[in-house]
Structure 1
Amino acid sequence: MSNPVGQARLSDDAASRVDQTDETGKDHIMQYLLLIYGDESLSDPQALQEITAAHMRLGAELQEAGVIVGGNRLKPTDTATTVRTVAGSQSLHDGPYAETREQLGGYYLVEAPDLDAAIGWAKKIPGGPNYAIEVRPIWPLQ
């Protein structure tokens, strides 16, 4: 379900499940993974150069705002290897786990006070003519 106009702030119950609040109920900075999905078959050199330049500008903006924790682009899916475990038995497969129209092409790891702020950064991420950004809160191992 999408909510294009409303605030994306999580309910108190959901916020505590993703650790958006501390034990006193106060908000604190969280980390969000901004996963970039797009069509890796885009091969127009000028479009790719423009997208890369836009990512460089966004990286500088994230750095200046002090919210960037990390990020990188990924090599194409034909370089991937999937380790699949079924009933305790493991096997290796070339490529990604599933065939999809959009491939995971990169990510940014950012710190933000809430989901709205993370979505604000996600909306600035450049891509090709068709792409998606998945915003996922990090679940600390604490």
Structure 2
Amino acid sequence: MKVMLVMWSDGTYEGGDADEDYAAWMRYEESLRADGVMLQSGQFAEVEDARVVVTSISRHPDAEPQPSRALSGYYLLEVGDLDAATEYARQAPLYGTVEVRPLVEY
């Protein structure tokens, strides 16, 4: 099954680009690759470069949504089941939470 691990920062990290944090993320990605589960990953640009669009068929056309500063990145994995995906999410070196979301495959 394919799952998206959606990374949400809790805003508590103030370390900048510390070498040890970068190394922790590299180890995490290497473990996903070594296990053969990582299909894709990405880090989102700063919120100032984001746009939120209310669609033309929205039930709330007057909404003024704002992009979330907390949304930081994602991993697309292919795993055996939701429990395996949850365990990979738990291992992420993230100051925040990881949403584990299965993808619907047609």
Give the TM-score band, short-chain normalised: 0.7 to 0.9
Give percent identity, aligned residues only.
31
**1:59 alignment partner, one of 29, 43, 48:** 29
Structure 1, gaps ≥5 residues long: 1-29
Q: Partner residue of 2:45?
A: 75
What is the Cα deviation at residue 108 of structure 1? Answer: 0.6
What is the Cα deviation at residue 55 of structure 1? Answer: 1.1
Which structure: larger Rg?
1
Distance (Å, rounded) in 2 between the aligned partners of 1:127 and 1:117:
18
Structure 2, gaps ≥5 residues long: none
What is the Cα deviation at residue 95 of structure 1? Answer: 5.0
Letter in 2 for 1:45: G
SS of the aligned residue for 1:83 comes to coil
The answer to whether residue 90 in structure 2 is matched with residue 120 in structure 1 is: no
Question: Are the counterparts in 1 of residues 10 and 97 from structure 2 also a CA contact under 8 Å?
Answer: no
| RMSD, aligned CA | 2.6
TM superposition score normalised by structure 2: 0.81
Task: Please show how residues 101-120 of structure 1 align to structure 2 within 5 Å.
Answer: 103-120=70-87
How many residue pairs get matched?
104
What is the Cα deviation at residue 43 of structure 1? Answer: 3.5
